[in-house]
A and B are shown apart, each in its own frame.
Chain A
Amino acid sequence: MKSFSYQRATATEGAIQAGTMRGAKFLAGGTNLVDLMKYGVESPTTLVDINHLELKEIVVSPDGGVRVGALVKNSDLADHSLIKTQYPLLSQALLSGASPQLRNMATTGGNLLQRTRCYYFSDISFPACNKRDPGSGCAAIKGYNRIHAILGQTDKGTTSGESCIATNPSDMNVAMSALGAKVEVEGPKGKRTIPFTEFHKLPGSTPWLDTTLRQDELIVAVTLPPARFAKNAYYLKIRDRNSYAFALISVAAGLELDGGLIKSAGLALGGVALKPWRETEAEKVLAGKPGGPEAFRQAAEILLHGAKGYEHNTFKIELAKQGVVRALSLALRGTTEGMQA
């Protein structure tokens, strides 16, 4: 690990100021950053420890939604009475991720910035990774790409400086996307709010950037709109073992029902792209219908339109489609009953 200086921030303004220093990074839970520093992937020259800032509240917003401080721990968010009763989709997603120990450490803001789990990114003995070393190429395209993207990836060959088929590994992000969250950030030039779908970016021609957050900005909160899916929500995570593993695919499905018909839906896929995959058309096609396998399959086809697999992950296309149908079916059944799939 490269040497760094450690600073503990006591106020948000001071933290933002310290964060503008060249080579500085914010330290929250550290579950991803410290890990990547050990691997030699991240090498900040200054760590600004923000854990003592007052960003730990979960409060009801004036619009009836909820504002979650950036430093609320994943375990505290999952178990908060407002979240587990009004936003069970988010609780389920959080509790599907990592382990109890890691959830006790990881924060809301940090989870948003979790880097990909692509092996070629985290293992510096592989020279080609545009995300780690811009312009070096993408070893995953011809490599062991079982956990990699099937949607929204940039594939111009292994040697192109634009190629990247990595995925975003977060469970929380998938639920946040389906719920229509927003990210509040603060920088030297002031505050701004970023809609969730615009926070994470696809690789495009700049695969080294994961988000639209600027270098000198600090995430201060995530806001959730008024709850629509309190009664009908399901987070489906399919993985190689039943706990403590990243998703091969995951589905966040929320349904708002009115008189036996679907009034609105929230639907996002995880494990398939560099950001939670959401298509408003796939949600709209469900509106006004009673639901059921046929309608759900239609939504799945829209969501997976244009998917492209690789040597080791083509199975994820059909897996994701069936996952969408299953998650929506279980969401329709209701949150309060036993949800064993």
Chain B
Amino acid sequence: MSIPFGNEPDADEIEQEEKDLEKNGLHFELSRRRFVQAAGVISAGVAVGLPNVAAETPGSRTQAITLKVNGQSMALSLDTRTSLLDALRESMDLTGSKKGCDHGQCGACTVLIDGRRVNSCLTLAFAAEGSEITTIEGLAKNSDPKDASELHPMQAAFLEHDGYQCGYCTPGQICSAVAAVEEQKRGTLSIVSFHTGKTEHPEMTDEEIKERMSGNICRCGAYPNIVAAVRALVGASA
């Protein structure tokens, strides 16, 4: 089977897309699409992980949708097939959430929907309409990426404990860890809680952290430092 490449957008399309994004309150200096075009990269569809949904696909169904992400509502027009992950990355310029496997096996796309961690790659954008979506971009108090003064404590803990190597899985790891700590505070159980006989408000031991973070794969193997970051945060707030 050949992999269908995304069509290269022409300059007019890019300009229109940028106008659309600006209408939604998004500003940028140089869009990734424009960069790809400027750099003359062929098969950009594969390079940037564009969804397998060509615009000219017969029977394409595009509908209006409003998504509420990081406290801001955005009106969009999307194909019904669009995953929440693709909507965030391709239509909202929120590229913090990453596409690893696109099949719910790696956790790189983890976001919070109404406070619960989910895989955004297996969530249809339309199914998420009406919910409060939080991405990695929405965790810090200050959303300016150049301003690291008011990071979410989990982001700061990952920095402090070097909880990453290449960084690709990190946004998913951090979103997942934020939810994992909240879940533990509520007293939720894991299979480790049963195996250790701690079914009454289990403590966040390393064994618990590993099990509760097992939905996030790190190909670099930064696991010991990820565990250290989560442990530090739990210890600090305990």
* CB pair B1 A125 closer than 8 Å: yes
* CB pair B214 A244 closer than 8 Å: yes
Known contacts A34-B122, A101-B118, A105-B119; decide if A1 and B81 are in contact (CB<8 Å).
Answer: yes
Is A104 an interface residue, CB under 8 A from the partner? yes
Interface size class of B (residues with CB under 8 A): 35 or more
Q: Which of A172-180, A185-193, A282-290, A332-340 contacts B (4 or more CB under 8 A)?
A: A332-340
* CB pair A84 B61 closer than 8 Å: no
Kindly provide the distance from the CB of B114 to the nearest chain A CB, expressed in whole angstroms: 10
Contacts of A337 in B (CB 8 A): 197
Q: Which of B20-28, B51-59, B136-144, B230-238 contacts A (4 or more CB under 8 A)?
A: B51-59
Kindly provide the distance from the CB of A48 to the nearest chain B CB, expressed in whole angstroms: 11
Is A88 an interface residue, CB under 8 A from the partner? yes
Known contacts A95-B189, A101-B119; decide if A34 and B196 are in contact (CB<8 Å).
Answer: no
* CB pair B127 A101 closer than 8 Å: no
* CB pair A5 B83 closer than 8 Å: no
Is B226 an interface residue, CB under 8 A from the partner? no
Q: Which of B40-48, B89-97, B99-107, B151-159 contacts A (4 or more CB under 8 A)?
A: B99-107
Is B179 an interface residue, CB under 8 A from the partner? yes
How far does the alpha carbon of A27 sit from the alpha carbon of B190 in the complex, in Å?
27
* CB pair B189 A91 closer than 8 Å: yes
Contacts of B199 in A (CB 8 A): 84, 88, 336
> Nearest chain-B residue to A245 (Cβ)?
B214
Contacts of B189 in A (CB 8 A): 78-79, 84, 91, 95
* CB pair B196 A101 closer than 8 Å: no
* CB pair B194 A3 closer than 8 Å: no
Is B222 an interface residue, CB under 8 A from the partner? no
Q: Is the contact region of chain A dominated by helix, strand, or loop, or is it mixed?
A: mixed
Instruction: From the candidates B79, B212, B215, name the one contacting A102 in the complex (CB within 8 A).
Output: B215
Is B124 an interface residue, CB under 8 A from the partner? yes
Kindly provide the distance from the CB of B91 to the nearest chain A CB, expressed in whole angstroms: 16
Is B123 an interface residue, CB under 8 A from the partner? yes
Known contacts A31-B104, A38-B103, A340-B195; decide if A100 and B126 are in contact (CB<8 Å).
Answer: no
* CB pair A79 B194 closer than 8 Å: no
* CB pair B80 A104 closer than 8 Å: no
* CB pair B81 A4 closer than 8 Å: yes
B59, B110, B127, B180, most chain A CB atoms within 10 A: B127
Is A205 an interface residue, CB under 8 A from the partner? no
Contacts of A232 in B (CB 8 A): none
Kindly provide the distance from the CB of A227 to the nearest chain B CB, expressed in whole angstroms: 16
Kindly provide the distance from the CB of A51 to the nearest chain B CB, expressed in whole angstroms: 6
Is B77 an interface residue, CB under 8 A from the partner? no
Nearest 6 pairs of A and B residues by beta carbon: A99-B215, A338-B197, A243-B214, A3-B59, A95-B191, A6-B80
Residue ranges of B at the interface with A (Cβ–Cβ < 8 Å): 1, 52-53, 57-61, 63, 79-81, 83, 102-104, 107, 110, 116-119, 122-124, 126-127, 176, 179-180, 183, 188-191, 194-197, 199, 210-212, 214-216
Can you spell out 15 A-B residue pairs with CB atoms less than 8 angstroms apart?
Answer: A1-B52, A3-B58, A6-B124, A30-B123, A35-B122, A47-B80, A95-B191, A99-B215, A100-B117, A100-B190, A102-B119, A104-B118, A105-B122, A243-B214, A338-B196
